[in-house]
């Protein structure tokens, strides 16, 4: 794992946005794996600013989301589709058919998972995957204990993840209980990965990764077995408070 340590969240976002900008610049056909949540919000903001300043061809860019809640229609303001529209698609005027997001409203969720995996394969796989990490070490919504061989699948969200994500919903009961997520195997097939982490609450997950061990109890630690991972991390997310 290559490590870039920065002082602030803002600086992490700037570096991550430049990383992605350069990747699109080098390869306009880039298949970009995208994350949602708080961590990458400013990264998208900076990326949009940078592209507006120095335009690049986005017409062939494809994005692939890591996950989506089950039971939220695409129009729901907390669906990850809406997140992508708000943070990337609307400001950059991308066409909806450039993006893949699992359909959490599918009547046949298992079939949706199989099809999602196939769609990624048909795009030629993911070139650059952006990841955040959960407080419990999850990547995508692959919670602790998930098989390293997993493909796209339906997951029951853990209580801790539902509590962590309750801030986006009016009531904690409104947080969906299930999600569709790409699997750990899907993530590991990406040609390169950038992992973003900021804030002291992520420090245990990050330091477990950096100890070099690989354990299903901390899904993020599988990244130790990938040969092209760049971690962009704030100082406070690397130091555990004793
Ligand atoms: C989001 C995702 C999750 C988040 C993680 C951290 O698509 O797959 O793994 O990256 O839950 O979330 P934040 O950034 O909100 O702390």
Q: How confident is the model over 6-58, as pLDDT tens digits?
A: 999 999 999 999 999 999 999 999 999 999 999 999 999 999 999 999 999 99
The answer to whether residue 33 sits within a structural domain is yes
Flag whether 141 is in a domain: yes
Q: Is residue 233 part of a domain?
A: yes
Reply yes or no on whether 117 is catalytic: no
Which helix or strand (DSSP H or E) is residue 30 part of? none
CA of 138, closest atom in ligand 1: 9
67 membership: H or E segment, kind and range: strand 67-69
- Closest-CA residue, ligand 1 atom 1, reads 36
Atom of ligand 1 minimally distant from the CA of 199: 16
Spatial separation of the C-alpha atoms in residues 37 and 35, rounded to whole Å: 7
Model ipTM value: 0.99
> 136 an active-site residue?
yes
Q: Whose CA is closest to atom 8 on ligand 1? A: 140
- Tens digits of residue pLDDT in 143-157: 999 999 999 999 999
How far apart, in whole angstroms, are the C-alpha atoms of residue 162 and residue 142? 13
Catalytic member of 127, 138, 142, 165: 138
User: Is residue 143 annotated as part of the catalytic site, yes or no?
Assistant: yes
**Is 217 assigned a catalytic role?**
no
Q: Identify the CA nearest to 203 among candidates 134, 145, 141.
A: 134
Residues 6+ apart with CB under 8 A from 62: 29, 30, 31, 32, 98, 99, 100, 123
Residue-range definition of the domain harbouring residue 82: 2-196+215-237
| 203 domain-assigned | no
How many structural domains compose the chain? 1
């Amino acid at each position: 794992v290559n490590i870039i340590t920065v002082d602030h969240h803002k600086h992490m976002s700037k570096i991550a946005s430049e990383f992605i900008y350069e990747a699109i610049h080098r390869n306009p056909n880039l298949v970009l794996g995208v994350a949602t949540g708080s961590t990458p919000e400013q990264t998208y903001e900076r990326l949009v600013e940078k592209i507006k300043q120095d335009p690049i061809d986005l017409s062939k860019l494809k994005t692939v989301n890591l996950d989506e809640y089950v039971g939220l229609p695409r129009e729901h303001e907390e669906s990850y589709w809406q997140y992508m529209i708000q943070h990337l698609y609307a400001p950059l005027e991308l066409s909806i058919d450039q993006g893949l997001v699992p359909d959490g409203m599918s009547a046949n969720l298992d079939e949706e998972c199989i099809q999602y995996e196939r769609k990624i394969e048909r795009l030629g796989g993911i070139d650059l995957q952006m990841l955040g990490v959960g407080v419990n070490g999850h990547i995508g919504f692959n919670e602790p204990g998930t098989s390293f061989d997993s493909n796209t699948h339906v997951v029951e969200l853990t209580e801790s993840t539902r509590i962590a994500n309750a801030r986006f919903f009016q009531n904690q009961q409104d947080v969906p209980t299930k999600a569709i997520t790409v699997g750990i195997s899907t993530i590991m097939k990406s040609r390169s990965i950038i992992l973003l982490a900021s804030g002291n609450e992520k420090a245990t997950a990050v330091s477990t990764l950096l100890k070099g061990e690989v354990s299903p109890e901390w899904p993020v630690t599988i990244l130790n077995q990938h040969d092209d991972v760049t971690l962009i991390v704030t100082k406070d997310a690397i130091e555990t408070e004793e």
